[in-house]
Amino acid sequence: METKETVQSKSTKKGGLNAPITIIILILISMGIFYGLFGSTSNFKGGTTDGDPENFMGIIYKGGVIIPFLISFFLMVIVFGIDRFFALNKAAGKGNISKFVDTIRDLVSRNQINEALELCDEQKGSVGNVVKEGLTTYKALSNDNSMNKEQKLIELNKTLEEAMTLEMPALEKNTVIISTIASVGTLIALMGTVIGMIKAFFALGEGGGTPDAAALSVGIAEALINTGMGIGASAIAIIVYNMITSKIDDLTFKIDEVGMSIQQSFASHH
């Protein structure tokens, strides 16, 4: 029988991106995009960033110092989202997962455990790993005379749960980053909004009672740009997070479905 350490080593090999390093790199890239691309003098009238924006990139640049961080949020959602989709496709294994589950259930119902194990080796992935661990325990318990039927069923269920627990971190890795962006994206943008509104109110108080219309509009524009960027980052993060969790839920449902079939088959054949 494979040990728990063996299953755990299989799971950890499915690691994704290193989150701290990736986040730092993406923030630096965002700074480069903000100051190098959006802050290019060609995006402003008069050839200086103090001038009015000529295009959309110049408008975004006027959002101020919070914008690079909001840009990094967009990049993080895209990069970690792509990483998770590749990881989850790998976890699903080769071929059609629904067909794999149906075939395994059919083989187990006919007590053809060796054939089911061979299919797991071909399918691979997280589903195949959990099912294989359950089937390996199934075979071992079939030849074990030291426990009664109830004890064997408890041990089989425990094995399946432990195998699933070891696989889940690999499936869920870095999803917390996306969910955090979905939650705090608008809050970070609100900081930029507040800064912009503060500038607008200072413009109202200057000029001896005559507001500086230009400074006032700049402050309000900065506030609105930050608000829009924050809402956009959070919205995309929510969509990507829900897509990822839906795929994870589908994989766990398939595993639970096969696990139930394995336990039912063991109960009926032993």
Q: What is the DSSP string of 28-65?
A: HHHHHIIIIIIT-GGGBGGGSTTS-BSSHHHHHHTT-T
Rounded CA-CA distance 66/64 in Å is 6
Give the gyration radius of the chain's Cα atoms: 28
Rounded CA-CA distance 25/180 in Å is 18
Q: Please give the span between the terminal C-alpha atoms of the chain, in angstroms, as a whole number.
A: 19
Rounded CA-CA distance 68/133 in Å is 47
> Domain coordinates of the chain in residue numbers?
4-16+69-269
Mean pLDDT by 10-residue block, N- to C-terminus, for the chain (270 residues)? 43 66 95 93 86 88 91 95 90 83 85 86 84 86 79 86 84 90 91 89 70 77 91 94 92 85 78
pLDDT for position 210: 67
Nearest Cα to Cα of residue 221 among 191, 200, 245: 200
Q: Extract the tokens encoding 107.
A: 């083989």
Q: Extract the tokens encoding 202.
A: 């200072």
Dihedral angle over CA of 189, 193, 194, 199, nearest 10 = 140
Residue type, 159: T
Q: Extract the tokens encoding 177.
A: 């980053």
Using DSSP's 3-state secondary structure scheme, residue 111 falls into coil
Residues in the chain: 270
Q: Extract the tokens encoding 78.
A: 């895209």
Contacts of 154 (CB under 8 A, 6+ apart): none
For the whole model, what pTM was predicted?
0.81
CB-based contact 181:234 (threshold 8 Å):
yes
